[in-house]
Chain A
Amino acid sequence: MYKQPLPPRQQLQLLNPECKAMETTVQFEEKFVMTARQKFWSMLLMGVGALGIVISYFLYPGEEGHTRFWAALLTIAVFFQGIAMASCFFQAATYVAYGGWHTVFKRIPEAIGMFMPVTALLLLLVLLLPNLFYGHHPLYHWTDHEAVAHDPIIAGKTPYLNLPFFFIRFVFFVGILIFLSYKMRQNSLLEDLHGGLRYYQSNLTYASLFLVFFALYISVTAWDWLMSIDTHWYSTMYGWYTFSSFWVTGVAVITLVVIYLKKQGYLSLVNENHLHDLGKLMFAFSIFWTYLTFCQFMLIWYANIPEETAYFRMRYDRFMGLFYGIFVLNFLAPFLILMSRDAKRNMATLTIAAIIIIIGHFIDFYLMVYPGTVKLPQFGLVELCTLVFYSGIFLYTTFAQLGKANLVPKHHPFLQESVHHAT
């Protein structure tokens, strides 16, 4: 007869350290300490970036210059918000799926996820401040009352696209998700102190709620922050398309941080089996991204309706190299580099693939914002400084959050499964 698998609750009971003594010689105590060098570099990046942003505000005069300034800030703010959100999604998805393989490096997506309040605040400023300065947002055509009055198409969209509702949606979705991810993190830290199944089960509830709101958040915010730049145009695939981009970038960033910490001598429990699974996620979701991007493109290309093709016309005419380039960076490169089993178990190839994916998806977001606002491909001081500034905050918050808890979640019910994980 088959051995009947136990229902998940009972399986957890068996794995619970309180119920069964852990027979292992593995060292679970591992504390991350931010070195003075890491602190200095992240502070330096932040300082130089912030200074550069302030300088570039005065460096690009006129209406066009200001549009470019805010476009750069928006692209990068949305990009980093996506990375932080994808890390929280990683936790929530693995909780709901009773995933155990990732437990040994679970603190890393947690720490990156704690970056979200910062990015959300900065993004809110980027969306709010121009409205106060100019009376309308230079990136969003629909915030200009005069333009809306002469444009029946945008006027028809005002019940949804109006500033009060725009910010209500922002605060509602981002607020709820920050709250839920904060709760998940708090429970995870408490679990380290007290042990037991209580925190895991409470996190299951938070994670399920997170996924429900995340599904709405990802579509709604993609329409709000990115799709409404090209106000006349719409695509029903846009939410999924941006989600796939966020998610694969998030996994690439998690992989890079894991490899970095491993090289620093931390995370002794992480081995090539865990890296292999991260590589699989990057590989699979690169293909998923290609699938969605191509579907969106092909349907519009096939139907050939002028108001739909306008979106791709802009990208064809002035951004041709980047437009085709992202297919190479986001599809061909990860597809060919990460295809073999050995490549996914090798830190060097994983690092190369992750960096290519991050660059490729940054260009993807660049192509969502720039053609509709700046109209020309430009990359200069403001883009560079904003990237530097955000990288600085990212590194500082991630390191600071990693230092707050043991790097191995000591009492996580699936820890043993993760230690013995094999692929």
Chain B
Amino acid sequence: MKHYLLGLFDDEEVLLEAVDKVKSHNLRIHDVVSPFAVHGLDKKLGLRESRLHVGGFWVGAAAALTALGFMTWVFTANWPTVFGGKPYFSFPAFIPITFEFTVLNASFWMTFAFLVLCHLWPGRFRESLDPRTTSHLFGIVFKITPRMSEADIQHIREVLKQAGAVEVKERIMEKHY
């Protein structure tokens, strides 16, 4: 059982200011859900930079070497063939394939890595905290723990209201949303 408190906002500018206000009350924000990427939000939340692109670079580099190495092996050692009078190792002809293989691998593996990082592998169904946060509302999410008293929760609700939330609601979910 997971217990969440959700403050909903209808404007991203209000949301950005609300994040600051909430943080000034020393409240720990669990997450922010929004229909699109809001500029500056990651900095305010103190999220560390994603390392997905670093992985992408290394996968791409590995793919480039694999493609080049494989073609070189096939056309010089395994099955040497003359194409249009060109030498066995005709580097320019290998470049388009190397390029395509690099791009294909880098993009596919980055997509897969992204899905895994977001817990979105096949067969996994994730319920939304509030379906409206996928279209026009922005939500600041708090985790409610058994140690929190009723007064603590009330305090969070008030802070959210003051910060301009259009709605504050609680949700109890079976699994992580």
- Residues of A in contact with B (beta carbons under 8 Å apart): 1-3, 294, 297-298, 301-302, 304, 339, 341, 422
Residues on the B chain within 8 Å of A2, using CB: 135-136
* CB atoms of A3 and B84 under 8 A apart: no
* CB atoms of B136 and A1 under 8 A apart: yes
CB proximity of B37 to chain A, nearest CB, Å? 11
Sorted nearest first, the 8 A-B pairs with minimum C-beta distance are A422-B39, A298-B92, A301-B92, A422-B40, A1-B136, A2-B136, A2-B135, A3-B136
With A304-B85, A422-B39 in contact, is A1–B135 under 8 Å at CB?
yes
Query: Which residue of chain B lies nearest to A273 when distances are taken between CB atoms in the complex?
Result: B39
Contact of B84 among A294, A298, A302 (CB under 8 A): A302
CB proximity of A324 to chain B, nearest CB, Å? 12
Residues on the A chain within 8 Å of B95, using CB: 294, 298
Interchain pairs with CB closer than 8 A, number: 22
Question: In the assembly, what is the distance between CA of A297 and CA of B85, in Å?
Answer: 17
With A294-B95, A298-B92 in contact, is A339–B57 under 8 Å at CB?
yes
Interface check B1, CB cutoff 8 A: no
Residues on the A chain within 8 Å of B57, using CB: 339
Residue-wise, chain B 126-157 has the 8 Å CB interface mask toward A (1 for contact) of 00000000011000000000000000000000
Residues on the B chain within 8 Å of A302, using CB: 84, 92-93
CB proximity of A114 to chain B, nearest CB, Å? 34
A sample of 11 inter-chain contacts (CB < 8 A) reads: A2-B135, A2-B136, A294-B92, A294-B95, A297-B92, A298-B92, A298-B95, A301-B92, A302-B84, A302-B92, A422-B40
Residues on the A chain within 8 Å of B40, using CB: 422
Residues on the B chain within 8 Å of A3, using CB: 136
Residues on the B chain within 8 Å of A1, using CB: 135-136
Main secondary structure of the interface of B (DSSP, over half): loop
Residues on the A chain within 8 Å of B85, using CB: 304
Question: In the assembly, what is the distance between CA of A298 and CA of B96, in Å?
Answer: 10
Count of B residues near A, CB < 8 Å? 12
Query: Which residue of chain A lies nearest to B10 when distances are taken between CB atoms in the complex?
Result: A3
Query: Which residue of chain B lies nearest to A3 when distances are taken between CB atoms in the complex?
Result: B136
Residues on the A chain within 8 Å of B93, using CB: 298, 302
Residue-wise, chain B 29-62 has the 8 Å CB interface mask toward A (1 for contact) of 0000000000110000000010000000100000
CB proximity of B33 to chain A, nearest CB, Å? 16
Residues on the B chain within 8 Å of A294, using CB: 92, 95
CB proximity of B87 to chain A, nearest CB, Å? 12
* CB atoms of B84 and A304 under 8 A apart: yes
Residues on the A chain within 8 Å of B135, using CB: 1-2
Question: In the assembly, what is the distance between CA of A341 and CA of B51, in Å?
Answer: 11
> Told that A298-B95, A422-B39 touch, could you supply 6 new A-B pairs with CB distance under 8 A?
A1-B135, A1-B136, A2-B135, A298-B93, A304-B85, A341-B49
Question: In the assembly, what is the distance between CA of A348 and CA of B102, in Å?
Answer: 30
CB proximity of A419 to chain B, nearest CB, Å? 13
CB proximity of A402 to chain B, nearest CB, Å? 30
Question: In the assembly, what is the distance between CA of A126 and CA of B132, in Å?
Answer: 66
CB proximity of B176 to chain A, nearest CB, Å? 27
CB proximity of B88 to chain A, nearest CB, Å? 15
CB proximity of A295 to chain B, nearest CB, Å? 9
Question: In the assembly, what is the distance between CA of A341 and CA of B85, in Å?
Answer: 44
Residues on the B chain within 8 Å of A422, using CB: 39-40
CB proximity of A286 to chain B, nearest CB, Å? 15
Question: In the assembly, what is the distance between CA of A341 and CA of B52, in Å?
Answer: 13
Question: In the assembly, what is the distance between CA of A207 and CA of B136, in Å?
Answer: 36
CB proximity of B20 to chain A, nearest CB, Å? 16
Question: In the assembly, what is the distance between CA of A341 and CA of B40, in Å?
Answer: 16
Within 8 A of A (CB), among B68-105: 84-85, 92-93, 95-96
CB proximity of B168 to chain A, nearest CB, Å? 21
Question: In the assembly, what is the distance between CA of A301 and CA of B85, in Å?
Answer: 11
Query: Which residue of chain B lies nearest to A301 when distances are taken between CB atoms in the complex?
Result: B92
CB proximity of A389 to chain B, nearest CB, Å? 39
Query: Which residue of chain A lies nearest to B96 when distances are taken between CB atoms in the complex?
Result: A298
Question: In the assembly, what is the distance between CA of A210 and CA of B77, in Å?
Answer: 55
Residues on the A chain within 8 Å of B92, using CB: 294, 297-298, 301-302
